[in-house]
Amino acid sequence: MSPAPVACEARARLLRVYEFAVFDYNRALTLLDRHSGISFKREYEELQASAEKARQLAEQARTALATHTIEHEC
């Protein structure tokens, strides 16, 4: 029987970063949805930009996690 794999601290950290980024993105989308049709155009555009930035950060975090997982086989 082989020993249990050692937990990779870097992967665990990257996973937490990704989870928080996805949470922030979901929150930004919820806020955007709540203000749809009731906000001034400028405010809504700012919310859209914020949601897009959150999406980009989540994508970067996902890529970092995937890259680490492939490179370190963990």
Distance from C-alpha of 27 to C-alpha of 2, rounded to nearest angstrom: 42
Question: What's the pLDDT tens digit per position in 10-34?
Answer: 999 999 999 999 999 999 999 999 9
Asked if the model's pLDDT at residue 4 lies above 50, the reply is no
Taking residue 54's Cβ as centre, other Cβ atoms within 10 Å add up to: 21
Confidence of residue 2 (pLDDT cuts 50, 70, 90): very low
Look up residue 13 and give its amino acid: R
36 DSSP 8-state letter: T
Q: Residue range 27-43: average pLDDT?
A: 91
At 40, phi and psi to the nearest 5?
-65, 155
| Neighbouring residues of 36: CB distance < 8 A, sequence distance ≥ 6 | 44
Higher pLDDT, 1 or 72: 72
